[in-house]
Amino acid sequence: MKISYKKKELLNLYKQMVLIRRTEESFVEPILNGRIKCPVHLYSGEEAVAVGFSAYLKKEDVFFGNHRSHGHYIVKGGNLEAMVAEIYCKEDGCAGGRGGSMHIIDKSVGMLGAAPIVAGTISLTLGAALGFKYEKKKNVAVAFFGDGGTGEGVLFESINFAALRKLPIIFSCENNYYSTHLPIRETRPNYPVYKIGRAFGIKSFQVDGNDILKTTAVCEKAISTCRKGEGPVFIEFKTYRLRGHVGPSDNIQGTQTDIRPIQEIEKWKKKDPIKRLERYMLKNRICEQKELLNISKKVESQVFAAHQKAQISNFPKGEEVEYYVFR
Ligand SMILES: Cc1ncc(C[n+]2csc(CCOP(=O)(O)OP(=O)(O)O)c2C)c(N)n1
Ligand SMILES: [Mg+2]
C-alpha cells in the first residue's frame, strides 16, 4: 500500500469520491418521482475504481465506459452540470439530452463514449489505443466494463490484438460479482477474472477495488506501463454496488428482486471506500472531521445547483428528433 500521499492528495481523492457518491445519491428521488425518465445505473460503492485513475491521467488520455459510467465521466474531468442535464434528457446535457444516463460522452475531455451493450465499447477503446500507437503518442486508453463483459467474445479478441500490437490500453474490469441479477459464480468457472489477461501474456492485476490507496497504486503502475510502450494491462477491481442494478434498488417494482444475500450486502457496506478513507485519515491524524464535513457540504451544494439548472433546461425540440440518427 502506498502511504506517501500528501494530505492535499488524499483530500482530493476523498473529494472526488464524495462528488460521485453525492451525485449518484441525488438521482434517487427524481428517479422515484419520475422526473428522471431514462434508466439509471448508479455507481455508489464503486467510486474508488474510477477515482483510482485520477491522479495519473492526462487530459489527452481517453476513457470509454458502459451503462454505469457517471463516475468515469466525472473523473475524466467531465462537466457535472452537463452530466446531470443529460440524465434529465435535457438539451444542455453532454449528449444534447439524446443519450441519457447510459450514453455519456464528451469528446472535449476525452470521455469518448459509453454504451449499454455489454462489452460494446472495448473494441472502440482498442481503436483509440491503436491510434495513439500509430501517432506515437504516449497516451493511454481505458476500457471500463463489468464482470458481465468477461462473457463476451469481443473482450478476448481485443486483448489478443492489443497484446499482439503492444497497445497502450488498460482493460479495467469492475467485478461487482453480479451481471444484473446473475451472480458471477453461475456464469464463470472458479478462475479469477484477472487471469484472463495472463492467458494472453499481458500484465494483469487483481486489486481490492474499494481501497483507494490500492486502486491509485495499481492505476499508476498500469498507466506508466502503457506510457512506456509496455502495455496492454488488465486490472480486475473487486468491488460491489450499494444500489440496485438499475435505479435505486432492485425492489423498485415492489417485489424482492435483489437476490443478493443481506449478509453479503452488509459485509460490503463495511468496505465502503469513502468510509474507509475517512477512517484512514482520521486514525492517522491526517485531517479533522470538520475538514471532511466541509468538503461534503461544498459538494452537496455543487450537486444541488446542477439539478436546479438541469430542471429548468429544455428538452430537445421535437422537430429535431431525427437529428444524429443513422438512416
Ligand atoms: C450484449 C448485451 N447482452 C445483455 C445485455 C443486458 N444487460 C444490460 S446490463 C447487463 C449486466 C451487466 O453486468 P456487468 O457487465 O457486470 O456490469 P454491472 O451492471 O454489474 O456494472 C446485462 C446483461 C446488454 N445490455 N448487452
Ligand atoms: Mg457486474
Q: How many Å apart are CA 44 and CA 242, to the nearest integer?
A: 6
How many domains would you assign to the chain? 1
Range of the domain at 69: 7-318
Quick one: average pLDDT of 4-33?
Answer: 96
Does this model's pTM top 0.85?
A: yes
Query: Cell for 263?
Result: 449478509
Residues contacting ligand 1 via CB (< 6 Å):
41, 67-68, 116-118, 145-149, 174, 176, 178-180, 245
Ligand 2 center to 18 CA (angstroms): 22
pLDDT band at 297 (very low <50, low <70, confident <90, very high): very high
pLDDT in tens, 148-166: 999 999 999 999 999 999 9
Q: Is 326 inside any structural domain?
A: no
| Region 260-274 average pLDDT | 94
- What is the identity of the amino acid at 287? C
Domain membership of residue 263 (yes or no) is: yes
The 10s digit of each residue's pLDDT in 105-142 is: 999 999 999 999 999 999 999 999 999 999 999 999 99
Is the predicted pLDDT of residue 1 greater than 50, yes or no? Answer: no
Q: Which three cell numbers stand for residue 83?
A: 452530466
Give the environment of ion ligand 2: residues with CB less than 5 A.
Answer: 146-147, 176, 179
Query: What integer pLDDT is reported at residue 9 of this predicted model?
Result: 97
Q: Whose CA is nearest to atom 25 of ligand 1?
A: 117
Ligand at minimal distance from the CA of 117 is 1
Is there a domain that residue 187 lies in? yes
Please indicate, yes or no, if residue 324 is contained in any of the structural domains: no
Amino acid, single-letter form, for residue 159: I
Residue to probe by mutation, ligand 1, list 179, 241, 260, most atoms within 8 Å of CB: 179
- Better-predicted residue by pLDDT, 325 or 20: 20
Residue 105 lies in a domain: yes
CATH number for the domain including 105? 3.40.50.970
Q: Give the mean model confidence (pLDDT) for residues 231-257.
A: 85
Instruction: Answer whether residue 31 is part of any domain.
Output: yes
- DSSP, collapsed to helix, strand or coil, labels residue 132 as helix
User: What pLDDT does 246 receive?
Assistant: 94
Residue 2 has what pLDDT? 47
- CA 84 remoteness from chain centre: 16
